[in-house]
């Protein structure tokens, strides 16, 4: 039997509860995608959910998000073969919390699970290099990746990281805050700019660099400087930092 798909689904279900779906596919090595649809006449568009296929047999789980009559579509994206199940009557759950099936959690964890939801699992100790996370690499097969390997990957990308640039092209006051200016390069291109800290939004450790490319001075307000000056000269560069005193008072400094 070439280029075929069949699918079987329960005839009833509940909102928020996984439906166990089974079926066959030929060729036996082809992938199968699944989707719930409210009609059984036309192949629906995505999003699709991948099924687990073994020797032409597949299993999958789909969760209805609303009550009503639903149909399960199975689709082989290689051959285009498709099939649709009989009607599935889905009822409401009354708002109850639905646990993830233990069998599904266990398959992801590679063994038995202590509980059916993440909240029921034992709390983890402090993170360490030997901790592992589940990852998929060039396919749907899951592997255990240690945190040490993740950190090594991050380290290889850090040298190429560039601080984002924020261009100030309009005259007026620029109030420094964490979300818009922390760890950024501020390029001033407009005359008549004043830089002042928005202390309610800043925190200890705030830092940014200011390049004055406007051709005129940039005023500093509420910022202590190493030279005592209150402006950044045309063509000048300033490093602005924020630090808190032992009593918690935040002070903003600039090195000109």
Does residue 49 sit within a domain?
yes
Structural domain ending residue among the three candidates 57, 91, 125:
91
> To the nearest whole percent, how much of the chain has pLDDT over 90?
59
Average pLDDT score over residue span 219-227: 96
Question: How far is 147 from 150, CA to CA, in rounded Å?
Answer: 5
Last-in-domain residue among 91, 114, 139: 91
pLDDT digits (tens, 9 = 90+) for 146-192: 999 999 999 999 999 999 999 999 999 999 999 999 999 999 999 99
Q: Which stretch of 4-13, 135-144, 245-254 has the lowest confidence by average pLDDT?
A: 135-144
Is the pLDDT reported for residue 222 higher than 90? yes
Q: pLDDT confidence of 118, banded at 50, 70, 90?
A: low
Is 83 part of any domain?
yes
Indicate whether 172 belongs to any domain. Answer: yes
- Kindly indicate the confidence band of residue 119, based on its pLDDT and cuts at 50, 70 and 90: low
- CB–CB of 92/59 below 8 Å? no
Question: Contact at 8 Å (CB) between 253 and 241?
Answer: yes
Q: What pLDDT was estimated at residue 176? A: 95
Helix (H, G, I), strand (E, B) or coil at 36: strand
Choosing from 59, 76, 91, the residue where a domain stops is 91
Is 58 among the domain residues? Answer: yes
Tell me the pLDDT of the chain averaged across its residues: 87
Question: Could you tell me how many residues make up the chain?
Answer: 256
Give the pLDDT mean for 55-66: 89
Is 2's pLDDT higher than 80? no
- CATH number of residue 69's parent domain: 2.60.40.10
Domain that holds residue 25: 4-91
Q: Which two tokens mark 35?
A: 């989707």
pLDDT for 16 equals 80
Give domain status of residue 43, yes or no.
yes
| pLDDT at site 117 | 53
Q: Is the pLDDT of residue 103 over 60?
A: no
Residue 142 lies in a domain: no
Task: Assess if residue 130 is contained within a domain.
Answer: no
Residue 47, Cβ neighbours under 10 Å: how many? Answer: 7
Q: What is the mean pLDDT of residues 126-140?
A: 86
Q: Is the pLDDT of residue 114 over 80?
A: no
Percent of residues, the chain, with pLDDT higher than 70: 88
Q: Residue 85 contacts by C-beta under 8 Å, 6 or more apart in sequence?
A: 7, 8, 9, 21, 71, 72, 73, 74
What is the reported pLDDT for 132?
A: 87
Q: What is the CATH number of the domain that holds 232?
A: 2.60.120
Position 45 scores a pLDDT of 80
Q: Is residue 103 part of a domain?
A: no
How many domains is the chain partitioned into structurally? 2
pLDDT over threshold 50, residue 97: no
Identify the CA nearest to 233 among candidates 206, 213, 251, 209.
213
Alpha-carbon distance of 64 to 19, in angstroms, equals 8
């Amino acid at each position: 039997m070439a280029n075929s798909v069949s699918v079987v689904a329960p005839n009833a279900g509940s909102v928020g509860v996984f439906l166990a779906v089974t079926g066959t596919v030929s060729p036996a090595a082809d992938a199968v995608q699944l989707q719930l649809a409210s009609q059984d006449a036309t192949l629906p568009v995505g999003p699709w959910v991948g099924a687990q296929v073994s020797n032409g047999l597949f299993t999958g789980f789909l969760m209805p998000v609303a009550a009503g009559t639903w149909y399960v579509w199975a689709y082989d994206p290689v051959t285009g073969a498709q099939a649709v199940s009989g009607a599935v009557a889905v009822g409401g759950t009354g708002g109850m919390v639905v646990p993830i099936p233990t069998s599904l959690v266990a398959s992801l964890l590679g063994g038995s699970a202590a509980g059916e939801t993440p909240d029921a699992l034992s709390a983890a100790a402090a993170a360490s290099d030997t901790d592992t996370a589940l990852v998929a690499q060039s396919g749907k097969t899951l592997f255990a990746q240690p945190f040490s390997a993740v950190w090594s990957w991050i380290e290889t990308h850090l040298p190429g990281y560039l601080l984002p640039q924020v261009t100030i092209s309009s005259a007026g006051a620029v109030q420094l805050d964490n979300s818009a200016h922390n760890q950024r390069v501020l390029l001033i291109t407009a005359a008549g700019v004043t830089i002042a800290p928005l202390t309610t939004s800043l925190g200890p450790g705030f830092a940014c660099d200011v390049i004055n490319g406007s051709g005129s001075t940039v005023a500093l307000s509420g910022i202590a400087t190493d030279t005592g000056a209150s402006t950044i000269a045309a063509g000048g560069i300033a490093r602005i930092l924020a630090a808190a005193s032992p009593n918690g008072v935040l002070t903003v400094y600039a090195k000109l």
